Amino acid sequence: MPDFPIFVQDYWPVLVAYLVGATPFGFLAGKAKGIDIREHGSGNIGATNVLRVLGKPVGITVLVLDVMKGLLPVIVAKLVSDSSLVHIATAMAAILGHNYTFWLGFKGGKGIATTGGAILSIMPWALIAAVLGWIIVLKVSRYVSLASLAAAVIIPLTLVVENLITGTWEWNIFGFGMFVCLLAIWKHRGNIGRLLRSEENRFAKKSPTSDQP
């Protein structure tokens, strides 16, 4: 039996990560309750919309599952490969799987929870700073979208500070941080417009135009 090509041998965790990331837990949770979550609330399959439409127990469960589908593929990649490029590519694939799931016509969530799980073991300090920023901005503004955007921007900024302190620039990690930031901004472009027009709804309200991770 011939060996698989080197690329397949080395990068199979990337494909697995996309397939795992593409599992639409929010959509499946809605189906389990007899609804299409895309037809309720904001229409997003992310955990925040699930929480608003189906309640805290279901929403928190979806949140944990979305985090895990980002985290677990990267853990597997680290177990089978020493290459940081494989780790980063795996994390990116999990995030893209959530954001652009083939199960739903390549339309998915906004990737905040899955991104958090995916970057946990790659850039932990940046994640901690982003989570703290997310909590603070959400508490002050009550906008999930604004909190998510703040967290996205904090990630590359934290990497810059970390690299300046250590004096060693890891360009592949920084590039990944910029990818995460820019992708989050792109996925929230509609929310940015509503924020600028003062039309975005706060987290305390149930509305079809608010943000979901």
* pLDDT tens digit sequence for 93-111: 999 999 999 999 999 999 9
Residue 3 above 90 pLDDT?
no
Nearest to residue 206, comparing CAs of 42, 83, 37?
A: 42
Residue 153 above 80 pLDDT?
yes
Lowest mean pLDDT among 44-48, 140-144, 199-203: 199-203
3-state class (DSSP) for residue 145 = helix
Q: What average pLDDT does this structure show over 127-155?
A: 96
Q: What is the CA radius of gyration of the chain?
A: 17
Residue 191 above 50 pLDDT?
yes
3-state class (DSSP) for residue 210 = coil
Q: What is the mean pLDDT of the chain?
A: 91
To the nearest 10 degrees (0 to 180), the angle between helices 56-80 and 25-32 is 140
How far are the Cα atoms of 20, 47, 48, 205, 208 from residue 88, in angstroms, in the given order? 16, 24, 26, 37, 34
Contact 110, 192 (CB under 8 A): no
Contact 116, 70 (CB under 8 A): yes
Residue 208 above 70 pLDDT?
no
Can you give the pLDDT at residue 204?
63
Place of tokens 């592949």: 172
Nearest to residue 91, comparing CAs of 162, 177, 188?
A: 177
Convert 107-139 to b/e letters by CB count within 10 Å (16 or more is b).
ebbbbbbbbbbbbbebbeebbebbeebbeebbe
Residue 211 above 90 pLDDT?
no
Residue 4 above 60 pLDDT?
no
The pTM for the full model equals 0.89
Residue 2 above 90 pLDDT?
no
Can you give the pLDDT at residue 30?
97
Q: What average pLDDT does this structure show over 138-154?
A: 96
